[in-house]
Amino acid sequence: MPFNSDKLGEECGVFGIYDFDHNDVASTIYYGLYALQHRGQESCGIAVSDTEGPDRNFSAIKEMGLVSENFKEDQLDSLKGNIGVGHVRYSTAGGSVRENAQPLVLNYVKGILAMAHNGNLVNFPELRRELEYTGAIFQTTIDSEVIAYHIARERLLSENVEEALRRACAKLKGAFSLVVSSPRKLLGARDPWGFRPLCIGRRGNAWIITSESCALDTIGAEFVRDVEPGEIVSISAEGIKSDKSLMMDKGRRGRCVFEYIYFARPDSIIDGISVYDARIKAGRFLAQDSPIDADLVIGVPESGNCAAMGYSLESGIPYGIGFYKNSYVGRTFIKPKQKSRETSVEVKLNPIKDAVRGKRIIMVDDSIVRGTTSDQIVRMLREAGATEVHMMVSSPPFLYPCYFGTDVPESKQLIAYNHSVDEICKIIGADSLNYLKVERLKEIAGGTDICQGCFTGNWPISAPTEDIRGKYEP
């Protein structure tokens, strides 16, 4: 469970690099993962290999916790190799244990593969059972291992690893953005719907495949392009190759709109759309559709800040900083006990009294999931002297679960499924409550097709007949 239990988990982040000048890449992967830390704080890992060495020379480090907590300089120096992959994880299926940390390193008859995965497969149970009944023994409880096994199995029947990856991906149903390292190739694959982001970058003679463009900026790499939905890319000494045989019609896409609302960093660009601009638009739309007379607009840090700025720009109401966020509260924080006066929210957020005292406040947040913290935040503002608190939410109400890598829980746990907007407003103690309209979602994503199943119940592909989220917890 995330530290703030009313927030969604940030999925996962993947990073792969191949340096043709033969420089060691472990430290670069470290900085790339550091830039992607917002996508997952449960575990992290790095696996590297030397393309001029033996085929079975992958070395890896995987640990629970944050990137900065687990990779020391001497460890990175010990990881020798010019090709490798990295991963930061937030679990939406499978337990939060070290065995489930990625990258997965698979030693099989054709050599070794290292793989990092972001997303969730809806046909994971069927694929796993197929392998189990042919003698496969699993070391983890995650769908990523099923993908790795199917790649290895298809490699026995394929001329090269690219063909094996394509044949394995053709079996997968759901969300997957993959980075795969073989002894002498770096590959990336994105599901045909494009649920999760994936992009290509270059720094000199090094090529990178990663979840977000912000990771490229961090290491001084140039953004080349996005991996298209349904595309498989292969980078080797022969250059970069593209296989688009799994692509669907370009009009059919299912990008996760919550990348633009919450998950991605605001300095990232996903499928040609600035995340920062998308959040500014969301705030502007809230001001157009739900105008409120107030003195100050504030955001709930961090993801509410851009939308709050958008509301301010559109409405003309001044924007201000209403909270101090303690950025040093990580996953290892000792949570207050139930009988303690302190709460997790109060330790992490503190209202700036001089900013809000005596003012009518519009407070913008990215979402309300279970409704377990919004009431505390509203109360904190009132205790700090705010005369009115009007809450704006830069996403529609969550009504249905997500099966594609976001931990939106089952409907009965969602406050909006069981209560009207007016009822939620009373529960959280706000003077008013307004959500972004569903029809605005496509507009903030630049008009591209998006997945909005958690708001409408209409997913791009059918929901699984067997919901495995949590089933494989140890």
List pLDDT tens digits, range 162-202: 999 999 999 999 999 999 999 999 999 999 999 999 999 99
pLDDT digits (tens, 9 = 90+) for 426-446: 999 999 999 999 999 999 999
Look-up: residue for tokens 């896409």?
Answer: 253
User: Same structural domain for residues 300 and 153?
Assistant: no
Ordered alpha helix ranges (H), 290-399: 303-315, 344-348, 353-356, 374-383
Q: Are residues 286 and 182 in the same domain?
A: no
Q: Closest Cα partner for 451 from 254, 271, 275?
A: 254
Q: Which of 12, 199, 214, 402 is catalytic?
A: 12
Phi-psi region of 22 (alpha: psi -120 to 50; beta: other; left: phi over 0): left
Q: What is the dihedral of CA 451, 212, 104, 136, to 10 degrees?
A: 20
User: Is there a domain that residue 41 lies in?
Assistant: yes
Number of domains forming the structure of the chain: 2
- 230 shares a domain with 293: no
Instruction: Grade residue 473 by pLDDT with cuts at 50, 70 and 90.
Output: very low
Contacts of 376 (CB under 8 A, 6+ apart): 343, 345, 346
Find out whether 42 and 2 touch, Cβ atoms under 8 Å: no
The Cα 403–Cα 200 span in angstroms is: 26
Pair 279, 246 in one domain: no
Backbone angles phi, psi at 107, to 5 degrees: -100, 115
Judgement on whether residues 171 and 100 belong to the same structural domain of the protein: yes
Question: Strand 323-325 and strand 349-351: pairing?
Answer: antiparallel
Pair (236, 288) in one structural domain: no
Which of 191, 224, 252 lies at the terminal end of a domain, its last residue? 252
Give me the mean pLDDT over the 397-418 stretch: 88
Q: How far is CA 9 from the centre of its chain?
A: 7
Is 308 within a domain? yes
Residue 231 inside a domain? The answer is yes
From residue 279, alpha-carbon distances to 12, 237, 265 in Å are 21, 40, 11
Neighbouring CB atoms inside 10 A of 109's CB total 7
Q: What is the domain extent for residue 394?
A: 269-456
- pLDDT exceeds 50 at position 331: no
Mark whether 239 and 301 lie in a shared domain.
no
Return d(Cα 411, Cα 390) in angstroms, integer. 26
pLDDT band at 108 (very low <50, low <70, confident <90, very high): confident
Answer whether 415's CB lies under 8 Å from 426's CB.
no
By DSSP bridging, strand 360-365 and strand 296-299 are: parallel
Q: How confident is the model at residue 469 (pLDDT cuts 50, 70, 90)?
A: very low
426 and 360, same domain (yes or no): yes
Mean per-residue pLDDT, 102-119: 91
Using the predicted structure, report yes or no on whether residue 17 has a pLDDT greater than 90: yes
275-289 vs 303-315: helix crossing angle, rounded to 10 = 50
In this predicted structure, the answer to whether residue 4 has a pLDDT above a threshold of 60 is no
Given phi > 0 = left and psi -120 to 50 = alpha, else beta, which region is 73?
A: alpha
| The model's pTM | 0.91
Position with higher pLDDT, 90 vs 171: 171
12 is catalytic: yes
381 and 348 in a single domain? The answer is: yes
Average pLDDT, the chain: 89
| Candidate from 118-132, 353-367, 430-444 with smallest mean pLDDT | 118-132
pLDDT of residue 337: 53
User: What are 146's two structure tokens?
Assistant: 């099923």
Q: Domain of 55: which CATH number?
A: 3.60.20.10
Same domain for 285 and 239: no
Residue 139 lies in a domain: yes
- In this structure, the strands spanning 43-49 and 83-89 are antiparallel
What average pLDDT does the segment 97-126 reach? 88
The rounded distance, in Å, linking the Cα atoms of 87 and 341 is: 37
pLDDT at 371: 84
Concatenated DSSP letters of 38-88: GG--SEEEEEEE-TTS-TT--EEEEEES-HHHH--HHHHHH---SEEEEEE
- Domain boundary pick from 252, 283, 311: 252
- Taken in order 203, 206, 207, 208, is the CA torsion positive or negative? negative
* Spatial contact of 428 and 391, defined as CB atoms under 8 Å apart: yes
473 is a domain residue: no
We report the CATH number of the domain holding residue 387 as: 3.40.50.2020
Structure tokens at 129: 């059972």
- Residue 126 in any domain: the answer is yes
Residues 385 and 351 in one domain: yes
Does residue 303 register a pLDDT over 80?
A: yes
Residues 121 and 162 in one domain: yes
